[in-house]
Each structure stands twice: as C-alpha cells, then as structure tokens.
Amino acid sequence: MPGSRPLLHNPVSAVTIYLLPVGTGRFELYSEPRDDEPATSPHEGFLKRQFHSLGERWRSAVQAARHGGGESAGRFRRWRDWSVCRVAEMIAEQRTLWAIRHETSVRFAYPSNLSEAAAADQRRRILTAARRHHGVWAILDGVLFLASALLALIPGPNLVAYYFGIRVVGHYLSWRGAGHGLDRLQWISQAEPALAELGALADVPRAARAPRVAAIADALQLPRLAAFFDRTAAGSPAR
C-alpha cells in the first residue's frame, strides 16, 4: 500500500489512538490492547494474579459464547451467550477510553487528508460527547443495578444484577477516560495515509470493501480493526 506503514513505537508512549473515518464527516477513536504484556508470576501481588486469572476466564467465556450451540442450545444458555457477547462488544467499543485514563501521553494517528487542527477538533468533539453519554448512562445503570438487588430474593445467580453491574463499571471507566483525554492527556499527533484510504471505503458495501479493509488492517498491524470498522462504518449494512 503506497505511502502506508505501521506506526513506529514512540518511546514516550506505548499507546496509539487512531482517528478512524467511518462515514462522511463521522469519526471514531480506536485502539487495540497490548498483547505483549508479560504473564504474571507467583511472586507478583495477590490482586494482580486474581485479576489476571479473571481476565483469562472472561476470555474463555467470550470464546465459548461466540461458538455456542445455536438453536440446539437451551433458552437459558442462548440468553447467557447473548449477554456475554453483548458485554464483550461493549468492552470493545469502550476499550479506547479505558486505555487512556491512566496515560500521560499517547500517540494520535489521524487521516492524512485532514489537517492536524481538524483532527484535534474531531477528537475533542468525540471525547466531549463520550463524557456526557457515559456519565448519564453510569447514573441510569447504577439505578437499575440497585433496583435489580430485589431479584436476590429469587433463588439462583442474579444475572440481571451482574449485567447492570458490568455496565455501571464500564460507563464509569469510559467517563473517566474521556475526561482525562480532554483535560490532562498529551496527544502526540502523526498523519497516517492508510486511514485516509480507509475513509474512502466507509460508504462502500461491506462485501466489496472487505479485502481492502483487511489489507489496511494488516499494514497497520491492527488485527481487530476490520471487525470494528464493519460495526461502525456507514457501508456496513448490505445494500
């Protein structure tokens, strides 16, 4: 792909945030988790080992839910798998805001057909809307979480409470991340030609653009990019 290259790691920051064009005048902030973090050792803290173990179990649960038994599975299992997949989608959508909340600086890659000032304006607009959205939903889901405590009187696990509890935590972390990105984070900007090409594909039907999107994702070394782009881009519905 002419003019495109994987972004080099900046010694100042290990996190890169991408401004993805997903339609005419529409953008989303995107990042991917670092998969090269070292495994925990027996000498590390108890809480860190527990969180690592929970993370491993969660990834296993998501994989199992995505390969569930379909119509042959029972109604409860289908509902459980749907809930797990929905929460996994929520985590994927909010991962970027979670990733920046403890950073002091991040790389900011934006489409090369935008000026740096225009890209920064889009970033501020997204973060401002996200802070308002997640703040409101953290409150609403908090109320529903408290109300769901009444279901504890019914025997068995309170899955409704679990669901709203996860949503409360997710929205709260996203609210914090958006505020941090607006008020305290240093953004180190770099134009990226591959993102400009991606923007030209946003209005193209999914099947027609899929090979090119996959090639861009591979060039940028972002294995989850194609799936995220398909969920958010204007040309995703079949037409």
Q: Which domain holds residue 139?
A: 16-232
* Pairing label, strands 105-111, 16-23: parallel
pLDDT digits (tens, 9 = 90+) for 166-210: 788 889 999 999 999 999 999 999 999 999 999 999 999 999 999
* Structural domain includes residue 5: no
> Token pair for residue 133?
């959205």
Q: For the chain, how many structural domains are there in total?
A: 1
pLDDT classification of 4: cutoffs 50, 70, 90: very low
- Extended strands (E) in 52-122: 105-111
The pTM of this model reads 0.74
**Token pair 């037409």 in the structure block, residue:** 239
Distance CA 19, CA 31 (A): 9
Order of all β-strands in the sheet with 105-111: 26-30, 16-23, 105-111, 186-192
Residue at 10 is within a domain: no
CA distance 178 to 93: 13
Contact 137, 220 (CB under 8 A): no
